[in-house]
Chains A and B, each alone.
Chain A
Amino acid sequence: MNHDARSVVVEELVKRFGDFTAVDHINLETRKGEIFGFLGPNGAGKSTTIRMLCGLLTPTSGRAIVAGYDVAHDPESVRQNIGYMSQRFSLYNDLRVIENLRLFAGLYDVPRSLVEERIAWALEMANLRGQEKLITGTLPGGWKQRLALGCALLHRPTIIFLDEPTSGVDPISRRQFWDLIHRMSGEGVTVFVTTHYMEEAEYCNRLAMIYRGSMVALGTPTELKHKYMKGELLLVECEPLGPAVEALGSAPDVVDAAVFGNALHLVVGNAETAIPAITEFLRKREINVTDVEKIQPSLEDVFVSLTSEHDPSRNLAVQA
C-alpha cells in the first residue's frame, strides 16, 4: 500500500449528522505530490470531509485510506503521517512562536536530535526567522497562517490537509502562502486544500467541486472549464441588468443566465448564432445592449453552471 502512487483514496464516503447528510457518497483519489483542491460554498461538506480524512470525525459509511492507512481503523498511523491546518487559527496565542514550534515538534514525536534542525527549517520556510520570541497572538494574520503551516509540517508529513488556509488573510500574504504550497508539492508532499476562492482553485493541479455534500465535478481546472460547461459562454453588457436576466431566462438558445459583476454571463449552445439573436432579443425588450461577446469560462462559471443544474432555485437565472 505504501508504494502506491495514490496518497488519499476515498470510496463512497458518507457522513450524516442525525437527519442531515453532510457528505454524500464521495469518491476521489489524490496522487503523491499533487495539489488537490476542494472547491465549494460554505457548508458544502468540505471541512467535514477533511476532518474525516484526518481521523477527527468517524465516517458514517464508506472508506478512506490516507497515507496507506484506513482512517476508521488506524487513525493513529494516519495522524503520524499527515499535517492538518484547521479553518480557525488553532495554535496557542499566548505562547511564543518558538514555544508553539517546540510543542508541536514534541507532540509529533520529532526525534530529539532533529528538533532544532526542523524548527530552523520551519522558521525559514515560514519566513519567521528572528521572530521566535514574539507572542503568537500578536502576529499579523498572514504570519500566523505561515507559522501554523510550519507547525503542521515539522514531522515531515507526506500529506498535508489545509482547510481554507487563506480565509481572512490579505491578498499578498495569500500569494506568499500559495508559493509555500507549491514548494511543498515540489518536495513530493500531497497538498489537500479546501477553498471557496475561485482564483485559488486555479492554482490546484486537480479540483473536486462539492455542492450540498455531493461531488459535482472532478478534474484539472482546464478540464472542468471544457467538460462541464453545457455550451459556450457569452458576456453581455446591457442596461438594466435585472429585467435582462429575467427575460433571457425564457429566450431561445439560452441554457443559463447569471449576473457576474456589472454584466451577464450566458451559456448558449452556439455562440456564432446566438450573438445576433440575443442582441435582437434584448433590443425588442427595450434593453440597452452595449456589448455581446464570446469569452472563456472561468471556474466560477463552471461552478454556477453545475450548481444551477443540481439546484435550479439557487441560481439567479430564471429558466423556462
Chain B
Amino acid sequence: MLARLKQMLIKEFIQALRDKRTRAILFGPPIIQMLVFGYAANFEIHHVATAILDLDHSQESRELVSRFSSSPYFDVRRQLTDRNQIVDLIDRGEAVIALQIQPGFAENLRKGQTASLQAILDGTNSNTALIASGYVTQIAQSFAQDYQRDRMQRTAPQFVKLVPSVELYQRPWYNTDLKSRWFFVPGVIGSLTLVLVTTLTAFAVVREREIGTLEQIMVTPIRPWEFILGKTLPFFLIGLVDVGLIATVGTFWFQVPFRGSLLVLLTGTVLFLLCMLGVGLLISTVSSTQQQAMVTAFFFIMPAITFSGFGFPISTMPQWLQWLTYLDPLRYFLVVLRGVYLKGVGFAILAPQMLAMAVLGIVLLSLSVFRFHKALD
C-alpha cells in the first residue's frame, strides 16, 4: 500500500524536477512576478503631471504655485496662458490636473475675502484623481493658514495667540508612513500562491487524463486517495517552497517588515495550500482537457483574487457579495499574511481565519476525493 504511494511520488518528482525547463517554470516565474508586481502594485501618487494657469500674476499666486512645484506629489510641467489649453492638455492625457488661479486672487486675500483656486482633474482614473485632489486640498489649506498667520503677525500680533486651532497628530500603526507597498506585497504573495498551486494541480491530473496515462493507472489496484495524495503532495511541497521564495523576496527586497512568527505563517500557508490543492483537484475532476481546465481555473482565479480584499476593500462591497467572500480561501490567507507581516499577531488573533481555511480545505479535498472515481464514466 505504501509502496504504491511511494512509486507515485517518485514518478511525480521525476516528472516535475528532472527536466531543467519544467524546474525553471516551477520556481523562476513566481520570483520574477513577485519582483515585478511588488513594484507595480502601488497606490501611492507621485509626480502627478500638473499644468498651472496663473491669471493673477501676483506675489501671492506665485507663492502658491511654488508650493505645488516644490511638492513631490506634483510635477508642474506647463505654465499656461489660456484657459482653452486646459481642455486640450487633459484630453491628451498630458496633464492629470490643471490648477487655475483666478484674477483678483491676491486682491481678495489682501481684503480678507475668499480667494479661489480651481483644480480640474482627469477623473478617468478615479483613484489617482481622488488622491491628487486630497493633496491639492492639503497644500491649499496650509497656504491659507500660513497666509492668515503671517498677516496677523504683521497687522495685529497681539491677537495671534487668541486664534484657536486644532492640530492633528496622525499615528498610523503598523505602517507609520502608510506605504501602500507594505499592504500589497503580502497580497501579491497570497495571490501568486493561489494561481500557481491551483493551476499546477488542475493541470497535473487533467494532463494524465488527456494523454491516456490515467486510464493505465486506473486499472492498477491503486486507491483513489493514494493517487490523489501522490498527485498533490509534490505540488504541496513545491507550493511551500515557492511561498518561501516569494516571501523572502517580499521581506528582503521590498523591505516589508516581518513582525510575526514564522510558525504562524507556516501554519496559515499549509492550510491555504490545502484549500488550493482541493480547488485544483476539483477543477481537474470537471475538466477532460487541459484547455477546459485552463478556462475553469480562470473563472475561479479572477473572482478569488477580486473578492479576497487584495485590492478592493471587502467592507465596501454589497452585503450579498460580502457573504460570498467568506467562501474565498484567499480572503483568510491575506488576513494571516498581513497580520503576520505588519501586525505581528499570532494564533490567538488569527484563529478564526485558520479555522475557516481548515474547514474549507477539508471540504474541498473531501469533495474532490469523492468526485474522483476510478472509472471513466
Contacts and interface: CB of A to CB of B under 8 A. Distances in A.
Interface of A: 17, 51, 54-58, 75-76, 79-80, 82, 84, 86, 88-95, 99, 102-109, 112
Given A56-B215, A94-B15, A95-B11, A108 B377 contact: no
A208 B140 CA distance: 94
B219 interface: yes
Interface string B241-255: 000000000000000
Interface in B191-248: 211-213, 215-222
B10 interface: yes
Nearest to A94: B15
Given A57-B376, A86-B215, A107 B15 contact: no
A151 to B, nearest CB: 8
B218 A90 contact: no
Highest count of chain A CB atoms <10 Å: which of B15, B219, B376: B219
Given A99-B14, A108-B220, A112-B3, A90 B213 contact: yes
The 7 closest A-B pairs by CB, nearest first: A106-B7, A107-B220, A90-B216, A90-B212, A88-B212, A84-B219, A106-B3
B375 A107 contact: no
Nearest to A79: B221
A54 to B, nearest CB: 5
A259 B14 CA distance: 54
Given A54-B219, A88-B211, 19 more contacts: A76-B221, A80-B221, A86-B215, A90-B215, A90-B216, A92-B11, A94-B14, A94-B15, A94-B18, A99-B10, A102-B7, A103-B11, A106-B3, A106-B7, A106-B8, A107-B220, A107-B221, A109-B4, A112-B3
Contacts of B15: 92, 94-95
Interface in B1-58: 1, 3-4, 6-8, 10-11, 14-15, 18-19
Nearest to B214: A90
B374 interface: yes
A84 B216 contact: yes
A109 B221 contact: yes
Nearest to B19: A94
A55 B376 contact: no
B12 to A, nearest CB: 10
